[in-house]
């Protein structure tokens, strides 16, 4: 019963975050618009490339397959805004952090709930608008029920991993004046090695093997690949890598949080 009470507390935090984020309709739609626009640019890029080289597929991937994979990656990636690391940094700098750690909830779980509240308010419009864009630009692709379910499991783990990385970066505000450079490096690494512009399947072989082992490809690319391919073997390939990175990031976030909390000074008043 006590455990249920604890879960419902964080569920309520997530719900508030969800409602708060959904209240701004223009914001939600405009994020979807960004996904739409990117998909349009990618379609122009890959269509021109295929036409110029007289190809039907790239590495056995059709144009529709490439675009749908990119659309899902982009839709998942855009759902994590606003970035939790900036919120944590602001709270550390303005002193809110010192107050919140005394409250009867875990700061870590509070942020996890807040982050998932944001994600759930963004993901449906992003996927909906992105799917409309992909449907208009390249037509439908076949997505199996099993592929969708397996992809959703990886998506959940991908969001947890993304949260853990963002949490670690946010907590670094205890030691750094400004965490923005870390945010850029994280963002760009996700863009390059996370298949947000060029699907990892299209990377040169050696780089592809390395990219698939990095955490960045496990955030949004792995789930979108499984959703579009529907392959159980892809799921089995990505799941252990994801779980290893979640464990590593979880341990690091625990350690930096413990160390960071020691830096808090409360002056009363």
Partner 1 sequence: MSLRTAVKYIDLTFEIKKRNLLSEMEYRVSFLLQMIGMITNDLGWLAVWLMVFARFPNLNGWTSNELIIFQSVTALAWGLVYFFASGADMISTYITEGTMDHFLTFPKNLLWHISISETYVSSLSDIIFALGLFAFSKDVSITGYLILITVGVLAALVAYSFMVIANTLTFFFGNFKQGAWSLINAFAHLTDSPQSVYKGGLKFISIFILPAFFVGMVPVTLIKSFTLGQFGLLILAVLAILFIAIKFFYFGLKRYESGNLININL
Q: Which residues bind partner 1 (CB under 8 A)?
A: 24, 26-28, 30-31, 33-34, 37-38, 40-41, 44-45, 47-49, 52-53, 176-178, 180-182, 184-185, 187-189, 191-192, 197-198, 202-204, 207
Min dist CB 245 to partner 1, Å, is: 20
Nearest to 246 by CA among 157, 183, 168, 185: 157
Dihedral of CA atoms 215, 155, 60, 55 in degrees, nearest 10, equals -90
Start-end of H helices in the chain: 2-22, 25-52, 63-78, 84-94, 96-100, 107-138, 145-171, 180-193, 205-213, 215-219, 221-229, 232-261
Q: Which is nearer to partner 1, 197 or 241 (CB)?
A: 197
Q: Which is nearer to partner 1, 37 or 232 (CB)?
A: 37
Min dist CB 65 to partner 1, Å, is: 17
Min dist CB 47 to partner 1, Å, is: 8
Q: Which is nearer to partner 1, 4 or 94 (CB)?
A: 94
Q: Which is nearer to partner 1, 189 or 231 (CB)?
A: 189
Min dist CB 120 to partner 1, Å, is: 17
| DSSP per-residue string spanning 135-175 | HHHH------HHHHHHHHHHHHHHHHHHHHHHHHHHHGGGT
Q: Which is nearer to partner 1, 131 or 189 (CB)?
A: 189
Min dist CB 79 to partner 1, Å, is: 13
Min dist CB 61 to partner 1, Å, is: 13
Residue 184 burial (10 A CB sphere; 0-12, 13-18, 19+) = exposed
- Report yes or no: 130 and 39 within 8 Å, Cβ to Cβ: yes
Q: Which is nearer to partner 1, 204 or 268 (CB)?
A: 204
Min dist CB 37 to partner 1, Å, is: 4
- Report yes or no: 64 and 141 within 8 Å, Cβ to Cβ: yes
Residues 92-98: contacts with CB under 8 Å, at least 24 apart: 92/170, 92/171, 92/173, 92/174, 92/260, 93/173, 97/264, 98/264, 98/265, 98/266
Q: Which is nearer to partner 1, 110 or 118 (CB)?
A: 118
């Amino acid at each position: 019963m006590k455990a249920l009470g604890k879960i419902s507390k964080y569920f309520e935090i997530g719900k508030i975050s969800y409602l708060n984020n959904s209240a701004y309709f223009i914001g939600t739609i405009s994020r979807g618009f960004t996904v739409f626009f990117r998909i349009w640019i990618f379609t122009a890029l890959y269509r021109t490339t295929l036409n110029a080289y007289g190809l039907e597929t790239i590495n056995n991937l059709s144009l529709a397959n490439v675009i749908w994979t990119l659309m899902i990656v982009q839709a998942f990636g855009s759902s994590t805004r606003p970035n939790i690391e900036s919120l944590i940094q602001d709270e550390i700098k303005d002193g809110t952090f010192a107050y919140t750690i005394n409250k009867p909830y875990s700061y870590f779980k509070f942020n996890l709930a807040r982050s998932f509240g944001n994600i759930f308010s963004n993901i449906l419009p992003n996927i909906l608008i992105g799917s409309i864009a992909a449907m208009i630009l390249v037509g439908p692709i076949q997505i199996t029920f099993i592929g969708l379910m397996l992809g959703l499991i990886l998506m959940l783990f991908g969001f947890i991993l993304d949260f853990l990385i963002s949490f670690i970066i946010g907590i670094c505000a205890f030691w750094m004046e400004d965490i923005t450079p870390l945010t850029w490096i994280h963002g760009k690494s996700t863009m390059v090695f996370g298949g947000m512009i060029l699907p990892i399947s299209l990377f040169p072989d050696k780089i592809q093997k390395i990219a698939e082992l990095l955490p960045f490809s496990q955030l949004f690319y792995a789930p979108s690949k499984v959703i579009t391919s529907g392959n159980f073997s892809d799921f089995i390939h990505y799941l252990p890598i994801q779980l290893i990175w979640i464990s590593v990031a979880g341990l690091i976030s625990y350690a930096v949080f413990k160390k960071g909390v020691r830096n808090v000074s409360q002056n009363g008043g």
